Amino acid sequence: MNSQGHNEQRVVWTVVPTDIGPLLLAATREGLVNVVFHATDPVRDKALDRLGSRLGGEPVEAPDSPLLAEAIRQLRAYFAGERQDFELALDWSLISGFNRQVLRELASGVPFGSVVGYGDLAGRVGQPGGAQAVGVAMGSNPLPVVVPCHRVVESDGGIGGFGGGLETKRKLLALEGVLPEPLF
């Protein structure tokens, strides 16, 4: 409860425009809990329903929330080319086990402007031969962009898959200088 005796909202959210389309950002008191690509109304509504059922309670739209303000500021700076690392409190409650282990390694061990292969990332978490499992972890990443699953590529040089779509992955990798900017 807050000082007025009211229950505080558990999940707050907003949609922010970015160079890769609208992103839904959701946060709890623990930190940023979800980033969703292509946050059109139907995508947003589905994501909010899922968040409500997973975390309990009804997510509340709060674009001015202090819980979201820093995430918004850092994402804007990232897309403007002014920030390379995110320094945000993250709420990892939407992911567990191997997937959480892989995503934490990705967040801490694959810096801006670099990429890692699925198999290499599997080896880093003690699961050599676990490239497919790493692919599953990337697909279940609740915090894309901030936890940079776009930096995971195929060992043969292919770009690999991406929940936000391959064009979005290409744009993020171009922003980080890994790929050339598309001509059109």
Per the structure block, which two tokens stand in for 140?
A: 């279940």
Q: Is 184 exposed, middle or buried (0-12, 13-18, 19+ CB in 10 A)?
A: exposed
Q: How far apart are CA 100 and CA 142, in angstroms?
A: 10
Q: Would you call 12 a catalytic residue per the annotation?
A: no
Residue 54: strand, helix, or coil:
helix
Q: What residue type is 20 in one-letter code?
A: I
Per the structure block, which two tokens stand in for 98?
A: 């191997």
pLDDT at 7: 41
Look at phi and psi of residue 11 and say left if phi exceeds 0, alpha if psi is from -120 to 50, else beta: beta
Q: DSSP state, 17? A: -
- Among 11, 90, 137, 149, the active-site one is 149
Per the structure block, which two tokens stand in for 141?
A: 């990443």
Sign of CA dihedral 86, 91, 95, 98: positive
pLDDT at 183: 60
Note down pLDDT in tens along the chain; length 184 residues. Answer: 444 433 444 899 999 999 999 999 999 999 999 999 999 999 999 999 999 999 988 999 999 999 899 999 999 999 999 999 999 999 999 999 999 999 999 999 999 999 999 999 999 999 999 999 999 999 999 999 999 999 999 988 889 889 999 999 999 999 999 988 666 5
